[in-house]
Chain A
Amino acid sequence: QLQLQESGPGLVKPSETLSLTCTVSGGSIRGSTYYWGWLRQPPGKGLEWIGSISEGGSTFYSPSLESRLTMSVDTSKNHFSLKVRSVTAADTAMYYCARRNLDSHAFDVWGQGTKVIVSS
């Protein structure tokens, strides 16, 4: 059974870079049928898609965040990563990684989420 697990610092200072990794277990990150995505949910608010990446490194980013984002994938370690530069308090959120299934065009497997607070 495929599982995704987010990891990274829970506290980031303003203006610094937020870095998260999503490790995939119970299956391979390889596969042309899937993209791998990051999403977030600020406290008390709705979900926001951040971006998605393929096994080959092709990326789709949210236009509102694109200038601050870098996503990467490491197939040898079966994980993918997110970096968000120049963070502010508005980046405080629960961050989720998820698999985007290109057959169903949906996020069909989700990690449990990791809470990130931006504060000095």
Chain B
Amino acid sequence: QSVVTQPPSASGTPGQRVTISCSGSSSNIGRNAVNWYQQVPGTAPKLLIYTNTQRPSGVPDRFSGSKSGTSASLAISGLQSEDEAIYHCEVWDDNLKAVFGGGTKLSVL
């Protein structure tokens, strides 16, 4: 059981906007930046969002991140079939160091 929690699954139809949440505490999300990674099944994770809201070069602006208090969210607008993947949030915890949420499997229906 991770100290940072994500819903195990999410879904949407093409073109829709979906959000994935990441809930933590004052020792992690409440005081440190959140990163998001995208993992297509069978491949390595890829950095999608860093420092709560920043996109690495090459990541479409359909992907956006936000943080408020002890929770963070990843939003995907204009959902596409290739967005079907597992999304992981990651944050530094003052006690446990780097921690990940359990991952959210996104299905595009």
B-chain residues with CB within 8 Å of residue A47 when the two chains form the complex? 37, 45, 88, 90, 100, 103
Q: Are B44 and A105 in contact (CB under 8 A)?
A: no
Task: Give how many B residues have a beta carbon under 8 Å from the other chain's beta carbons.
Answer: 26
Chain A 81-120, CB-CB to B under 8 Å as 1, else 0, gives 0000000000000001000000011111011110000000
- Report the contact-size class of chain A (Cβ under 8 Å from the partner): 20 to 34
Q: Are A46 and B90 in contact (CB under 8 A)?
A: no
A-chain residues with CB within 8 Å of residue B92 when the two chains form the complex? 105
**Nearest-CB residue, chain A, relative to B4:** A46
| A residues 13-65 in Cβ contact with B at 8 Å | 37, 45-49, 52, 60-64
Closest approach, in angstroms, between the C-beta of B31 and any C-beta of chain A? 13
Q: How far is the CA of A107 from the CA of B98 in the complex (A)?
A: 10
Q: Known interface pairs A63-B96, A63-B97, A112-B44. Does A106 touch B102 (Cβ–Cβ under 8 Å)?
A: no
Q: Are A106 and B97 in contact (CB under 8 A)?
A: no
Whether B62 sits at the interface, judged by CB under 8 Å, is: no
Residue of A46, A48, A104 touching B54 (CB-CB under 8 A): A104
B-chain residues with CB within 8 Å of residue A112 when the two chains form the complex? 43-44
Q: Are B47 and A107 in contact (CB under 8 A)?
A: yes
Residue of B35, B97, B101 touching A105 (CB-CB under 8 A): B35
Binding site for B on A (CB under 8 A): 37, 45-49, 52, 60-64, 96, 104-108, 110-113
Q: What would 5 more interface pairs be, CB under 8 Å, given A37-B98, A47-B45, A104-B54? A: A49-B100, A62-B97, A105-B51, A107-B90, A108-B56
